[in-house]
């Protein structure tokens, strides 16, 4: 099978569009369509169902996709292995990070890394932690800085991690701010501003409420911690935020509950070799985080 055709196939799957895949690969749409047609001819199977407003994989396409990704990963690994001969740190490094880590944890690392390794073409994208896994497996990213679950998903390596302690907070004029010792029952009386149910933070808070047989009123979900902070600061509800985000606009609630703490860290896909550039970035991050107190 032709590598260019496999790349066109995988890119079309990722972009869910022939035209967007063409833009991504700097090709014309007819060129993308031709490559897909060649692949379908080689495999003897139709790979996409072309609907009016979308395209979806056929059963044959579903079967081919993981194999196509494996081939492209191995080609990328071979290219990186050759370019990494010696100690030269160069090439392209694609990093994805959760919004909080990207805004509050990475700036110093990015500055130091760019200073030390000017030959690296560094690309940074923000997204929620759950979305990082698919970008790594689809070979659209090299490293992801995310919230680390209790058990790292199978097929991924966790390189560095650190604790991110959190606190229950509310705004200066919220009714909870007047209570000397906040009980779980007090929290259940008011609305919570929390991230979506798929996040680790939500699951930790939910477990606390379940243990106390209480209902959690989380009616305003948002995965952006800065938005959660803003909404809490104007007394729209209580929330749970990293201690590094708490300022004079917020009050830390004296809640006698188990400590809420999440782990942040960097992961990569096991099938993809860690390049010199990626290893240098991890080393830089570990060095800077080791100098900071959280």
User: 192-224 pLDDT, tens per residue?
Assistant: 999 888 787 888 888 888 988 988 888 777 778
pTM of the model: 0.67
Query: What mean pLDDT do residues 69-76 have?
Result: 83
- Domains assigned to the chain: 3-82 (1.10.10.10), 86-163+273-290 (3.40.190.10)
How confident is the model over 243-294, as pLDDT tens digits?
Answer: 989 999 999 999 877 678 888 999 999 888 888 899 999 999 988 876 443 3
**What span, in angstroms and rounded, lies between the C-alpha atoms of 66 and 155?**
13
CB atoms within 10 A of CB 192: 24
Q: Please report where in the chains the tokens 């990569």 appear, as a residue.
A: 268
More confident residue, 143 or 84: 143
Mean confidence (pLDDT) of the chain? 86
Residue 128 CB contacts under 8 Å (≥ 6 apart), including other chains? 98, 99, 199, 223
Give pairs for 113-119: CB < 8 Å, separation 24+. Answer: 113/280, 113/281, 113/284, 116/280, 116/284, 117/89, 117/90, 117/277, 117/280, 119/88, 119/89, 119/90, 119/91
Exposure string of 96-126, with b = 16+ CB inside 10 Å and e = fewer, is bbbbbbbebbbeebbeebeeebeebeeeeee
How confident is the model over 83-121, as pLDDT tens digits?
Answer: 656 667 888 899 999 888 888 889 999 999 999 999 999
């Amino acid at each position: 099978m032709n590598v260019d055709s496999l790349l066109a196939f995988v890119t079309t799957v990722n972009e869910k569009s022939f035209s967007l895949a063409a833009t991504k690969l700097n090709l014309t749409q007819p060129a993308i369509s031709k490559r897909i047609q060649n692949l379908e001819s080689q495999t003897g199977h139709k790979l996409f169902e072309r609907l009016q407003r979308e395209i979806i994989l056929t059963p044959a396409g579903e079967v081919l996709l993981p194999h196509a990704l494996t081939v492209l990963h191995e080609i990328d690994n071979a290219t990186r292995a050759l370019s990494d001969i010696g100690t030269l740190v160069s090439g392209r490094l694609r990093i994805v990070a959760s919004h909080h880590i990207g805004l509050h944890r990475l700036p110093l690392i990015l500055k130091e890394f760019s200073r030390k390794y000017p030959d690296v073409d560094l690309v940074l994208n923000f997204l929620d932690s759950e979305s990082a896994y698919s970008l790594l497996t689809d070979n659209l990213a090299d490293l992801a800085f995310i919230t680390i679950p209790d058990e790292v998903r199978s097929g991924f390596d966790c390189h560095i991690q650190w604790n991110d302690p959190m606190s229950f907070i509310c705004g200066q004029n919220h009714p909870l701010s007047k209570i000397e010792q906040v009980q779980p029952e007090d929290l259940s009386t008011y609305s919570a501003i929390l991230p979506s149910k798929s996040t680790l933070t939500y699951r930790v808070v939910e477990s606390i409420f379940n243990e106390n047989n209480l209902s959690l009123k989380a009616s305003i979900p948002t995965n952006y911690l800065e938005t959660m902070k803003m909404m809490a600061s104007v007394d729209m509800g209580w929330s749970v935020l990293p201690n590094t985000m708490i300022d004079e606009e917020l009050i830390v609630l004296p809640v006698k509950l188990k400590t809420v703490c999440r782990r942040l860290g960097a992961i990569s896909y096991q099938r993809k070799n860690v390049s010199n550039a990626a290893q240098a970035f991890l080393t830089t991050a570990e060095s800077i985080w080791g100098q900071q107190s959280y």
